Structure 1
Amino acid sequence: MKTADKVRSPCVSICALDQNDTCIGCQRTGDEILRWTMMTDEERREVLRKVAEREKKVAI
């Protein structure tokens, strides 16, 4: 697999966890951030789906 095909981190370099253990920058949980480098691309895609749902809730 080429590097361009790998799922990239949603990190935006605003790293701070809120009271729910969710990063205010990328919307990943602390656990998701810690495990990111060990995840498969499919697991990363699942995290990104969850991130998208979290972002919708924050926008409301």
Structure 2
Amino acid sequence: MSSKSSEPDGGQVLSPCRRQCCLDAQDICLGCGRTLQEILDWSRVDAPRQRAICAAAEVRLQQRNGMV
């Protein structure tokens, strides 16, 4: 996920979407780890918020995979 969440020109963060979109019972995407609300908000939030979303999503994915 880190390569997709990099900032190519110091501006907006690239979406962490992995095109494996499927929501679990808590409305968390199984592919990228973002919540449904984070997915919906993505294009409207600033780069610092996007980085925070990416970090939280990564933690969720690690927890799901038993890495944390």
- TM-score bracket, normalised by the shorter chain, equals 0.7 to 0.9
Task: Using the aligned pairs only, state the percent identity.
Answer: 33
TM-score by length of 1: 0.88
TM-score by length of 2: 0.78
C-alpha distance in 1 between matches for 2:58 and 2:18: 14
Structure 2 unmatched ranges of 5 or more: 1-7
Q: Report the RMSD for the aligned CA atoms in angstroms.
A: 1.1
Which structure shows the bigger proportion of residues in helix conformation? 1
Matched positions, count: 58
Structure 1 unmatched ranges of 5 or more: none
Q: 2:9 aligns with which of 1, 4, 13?
A: 4
Look up the match of 1:39: 45
